[in-house]
Amino acid sequence: MNESASIIDKTAFGMAASDHLAFLDGSGFDKEPYTGYLAFEKFANDNPEATDFPEDFCPWSQHEGFTAQEIHYFIQSQAAVLKNTFHDILSLTKQGIVSAAINDELPQDMNELNLEEAANRGHREAQIDAMQNELSQLQAIKTDYRKVLTDLQKRRYEELVGKLRDRGIEIPFNVEF
């Protein structure tokens, strides 16, 4: 990691470091956890087997006795999950904004744009897309004379048709039960 890292990287690594390390008040790391992570990363790379830590940061009690390298691994793993989550939310938000733009539903004043609602809209649209894709796959099985839907697939087919119809989504093929 370096100082030119993205805001997503800085936030994810800062949050993960704060979950695994206690930063001493007044160290500056308590207010800038990403900077604390960078200091810890340098320490862990220089002293991978260390279990004694500098005064500015120390592991929370659940990690006492772990090496710097092990704690660094925990932080990196958690940061990776956080980064993926942030990217997913941003992607859903983008999808919601694009959908609102296509449907001419964006506010005139973009300061009034509700990003949480855009993310929720993107999530709903992603769910609908996933249901439509799954339904299309089941429809392909159903229309192939060489294949038969299992009872579980039939129930899922009916469930998907019901959910899509309840939401007023048009199904682009004939549905037969």
Task: Tell me which of 163 and 3 has the higher pLDDT.
Answer: 163
Confidence (pLDDT) at 2: 58
pLDDT range class, residue 175, cuts 50, 70, 90: confident
DSSP state of 111: G
Give me the percent of the chain exceeding a pLDDT of 90. 59
**Please, which pLDDT band fits residue 147 given cuts at 50, 70 and 90?**
confident
CA dist., res. 92 & res. 23, Å (int): 34
pLDDT (average), residues 101-110: 94
Biggest CA pair distance of the chain: 72
